[in-house]
Amino acid sequence: MNTATEHDRQLAQKLKSLALQPVTFDPEPPPRSGPSRRDIRRPLAFAGVSTLVIAGLAAFALPSMLDHVRGDPPAVSGSGPAASATTGSAGLKEPPDITAPTTRPATREVTGSGHVVAPQSAEVFSRYEGRIVAVAVEVGDRVEAGQLLVRLDDSAARFKLRQTRIAEASAKLALAARNIDLAQASASFDRATTLFARGTASRQQLEDAQTLRERAENSVTQAGQDLAKAELDREEAELTVDELTVVAPIAGTVTVRNARLGESVLARADSVKENASLLTIVDTGSLAIDADIAETSIALVRPGLRGEAVLDGFPEQPFAVTIDRIAPAASAEKGTVALRLSLVSPPTGIRPNMAARISIAGMLQTTAGADNRKGTQQ
């Protein structure tokens, strides 16, 4: 049996097992007395081809076998985003580019309760004591600034006013008389001066005339001061009469009326101590809400945030509110912080001291946002 032919057959069987088309060989030639040059070249050619085929198969299968041993996932072929994301320009695998999502400030509902308040209101007192002789308004009346509210008995005040006017008139007459005396004294002094210059009057006469003129000047000055005092007394009496007529300090609505016809009232200083005002006027056109929220929610609110309010008197009519101010200090007793909120289109008929419930979408101020704001300020 020829050794080269048997080797070729074995190589053909191996190639057939690798799903390759087997090579058809020529029938075995009759034995020769010696190998020819062609017989020697044929096994060498087939051996070279088989070596190249096996080397190519090994080169193709080796990366997959190594990947299987290392546990690496199979390579993804293609030109899409996935292929470009996992394979670099040099054929190396690179981690995918993960972009962090944009963060938004967290929101949380902040609730609280409070009351409707009137920032502009006035307690009306009487400056002087007296008896009420007229009350010109009722609770709920709309008044303007300077409008008559209450009139007190002014008999004594008017009597005193008459006295001061008489005293003022007397002071004016006295001043006029003193001016006449000054004019006479000045004329006498001028005459004595002329006579002394001519030598017909003595020095003593000149000095006496000068003294009379100076006294007349002092009398005129004193009379002028008396007249000024009389004028002040008259102005004070007029002011007392005017103050007995109580007028509205601001425009608004009368919400409280304690003044009753025929009652005696105290002066302002005593009335304030007794908390006995005549009237209370509230500007109902500029109402607000003072509400308390938990101090744990202070980081979620700031001036300018909008929310919603509901009054117990108008439960089906919610309306918008805006935070105007935040109290600079918290309540240690209640653990709350007070807010002042302005009203946006409140229900018709809203009144001070109505109970209110508020709800605000609080914005959590994150550290990143605070850092950005700090950098902007710098």
pLDDT of residue 215: 92
pLDDT of residue 362: 78
What are the strands of the beta sheet with 252-257, ordered from one edge? 121-124, 279-282, 252-257, 142-143
* H helices present in 155-305, as ranges: 155-198, 203-243, 268-274
Enter the tokens of residue 15.
């190639």
CA distances to 62, 67, 85, 229 from 79, in Å: 24, 22, 10, 108
Query: In angstroms, how far is the first alpha carbon of the chain from the final one?
Result: 99
Ramachandran region of residue 140, left (φ > 0), alpha (ψ -120 to 50) or beta?
left
At 230, is the secondary structure helix, strand, or coil?
Answer: helix
Is there a contact between 129 and 230 (Cβ–Cβ < 8 Å)?
A: no
Scored b (16 or more CB within 10 A) or e, 127-166 reads: bbebebeebbbeeeeebeeeeebbbbbbeebeebbeebbe
Q: Which residue type sits at 289?
A: I
| Neighbouring C-alpha atoms within 13 Å toward the C-beta of 21 | 3
The C-alpha atoms of residue 351 and residue 341 are separated, in whole angstroms, by 15
Q: What are all long-range contacts of 312-319, with beta carbons under 8 Å and residues at least 24 apart? A: 312/354, 312/355, 312/356, 312/357, 313/349, 313/350, 313/351, 313/354, 313/355, 314/347, 314/349, 314/350, 317/347, 319/343, 319/344, 319/345, 319/346, 319/347
CA distances to 139, 209, 261, 275 from 154, in Å: 25, 52, 14, 24
pLDDT of residue 171: 94
Q: Which residue type sits at 189?
A: F
The C-alpha atoms of residue 43 and residue 259 are separated, in whole angstroms, by 136
pLDDT of residue 23: 46
- pTM score, two decimals? 0.52
Q: What is the DSSP letter of 98?
A: -
Which phi and psi angles does 239 have, rounded to 5°? -65, -40
Instruction: Residue 225: count other Cβ atoms within 10 Å of its Cβ.
Output: 11
pLDDT of residue 44: 47
pLDDT of residue 126: 86
pLDDT of residue 51: 52
**pLDDT tens per residue, the chain (378 residues)?**
455 567 667 766 766 665 444 444 444 444 454 444 444 445 444 445 455 545 554 444 444 444 444 444 444 444 444 444 334 444 444 555 545 455 555 678 899 999 999 888 898 988 888 889 999 999 989 999 999 999 998 888 889 999 999 999 999 999 999 999 999 999 999 999 998 888 888 889 888 899 999 999 999 999 999 999 999 999 999 988 888 889 999 999 998 998 899 888 877 766 666 677 899 999 888 899 999 999 999 999 999 999 999 999 999 999 999 999 999 999 999 999 999 999 998 998 888 899 999 999 877 655 444 444 444 444
pLDDT of residue 268: 73
The C-alpha atoms of residue 177 and residue 219 are separated, in whole angstroms, by 9
Ramachandran region of residue 349, left (φ > 0), alpha (ψ -120 to 50) or beta?
left
CA distances to 82, 83, 92 from 95, in Å: 11, 12, 10
pLDDT of residue 25: 45
Residue (of 286, 268, 284) closest to 276 by Cα position? 268
